[in-house]
Amino acid sequence: MSDFIHVFEPGHAPALLLLHGTGGDEHDLLPLGRRLAPGAALLSPRGKVLEQGMPRFFRRLAEGVFDEDDLRRRTDELAGFVTEARGRYGIPAPVAVGFSNGANIAAALLLRHPGLLGGAALIRAMMPFAEPPVADLSGTPVLLLSGSQDPIVPAANSAALAGLLQADGAAVTHHELPVGHGLSGMDMALAGKWLQALSPNR
């Protein structure tokens, strides 16, 4: 098994891949996952990069400026972990729920490894690549939740990411909320409703 420190909680479909923000860990989004999809299988890895002691999934050169070589390498490494975890735990293609740094690597997973994820809820995500790869995301459901008062992610950047994923064939739902960068009750309500629509019979 890959050397990602992680937590797995068995449960029914959909399986959620929980990807924390900067400074979080493998326990950070478990309460969110349980709330969004009660009883669902949860797979929650810890990012391996440390920035001033805070875990992240990939390096950045400055706020909003990514080390894209590291991002590509870390994205491929995380994709390998997800593939191994599916075999080990017997889960379907997971739906990523990512916040901030976790949302950014989830977007990178969509673009570099189409078909790996069953969908993705991206909370405060940015465009991960200056020159994104072409990906066939036909029918992949994606929820993008951005904040109109977010000081880190410009509205134009979120809109560009939504447009890119849509152009690649993803079924994108984009909400721009009157909030900043942090998680809000609106995020939880919209993400829970979106996840419920993916598996209405659970």
Q: Active-site positions?
A: 100, 150, 181
3-state SS, one letter per residue, for 123-139: ECCCCCCCCCCCCCCCC
54 torsion bin: left (phi>0), alpha (psi -120 to 50), beta (else):
beta
* Residue 17 burial (C-beta neighbours within 10 Å; 0-12, 13-18, 19+): buried
Q: What is the side-by-side strand order in the sheet with 40-45?
A: 6-9, 40-45, 12-19, 95-99, 119-123, 141-147, 171-177
Angstrom distance (rounded) from CA 83 to CA 148: 35
Backbone φ and ψ of 63, nearest 5° = -60, 125
Question: Measuring CA to CA, which residue among 12, 17, 14 is closest to residue 4?
Answer: 17
